[in-house]
Amino acid sequence: FPTRRSSDLLCFPIWYYTAPTIISGFLEQYDFSDKKIVLFATSGGSDLKKCPDTAKKSAPSADIVAGCMLNGSVTRADIEKFL
């Protein structure tokens, strides 16, 4: 999965305020050194607040930041400000 980009987008459904376990496994499997990972997620009620800290445990050398929730009310402008 290594890419030449300096940033990668990672989207997933939030389960009880955190990413599913498979996301941690994905982050542990690849080298994200010196990469920025922007998290995007869907959820019925949770938010992204805890997700960057949880993901950082699986990819400690990456710069992991919260992007935005994709729950139907997000506009193109909302997404573009995180890209």
pLDDT digit string, tens, across residues 12-35: 999 888 889 999 999 999 988 888
Q: What was the pLDDT predicted at 83?
A: 67
Q: Could you give the percent of the chain with pLDDT greater than 70?
A: 93
Q: Using only C-alpha atoms, what is the Rg of the chain? A: 12
Residue 1 pLDDT more than 60? no
**CA end-to-end span of the chain:** 20
pLDDT digit string, tens, across residues 35-80: 899 998 988 778 888 899 999 999 999 999 988 888 777 788 877 8
| C-alpha angle 70-67-25 in degrees, rounded to nearest 5 | 90
* Alpha-carbon dihedral sign for residues 81, 3, 17, 14: positive
Residues whose CB is less than 8 angstroms from the CB of residue 60 and which lie 6 or more positions away in sequence, other chains included: none
Pairing mode, strands 7-13 and 36-42? parallel
Q: Between 5 and 12, where is the model more confident?
A: 12
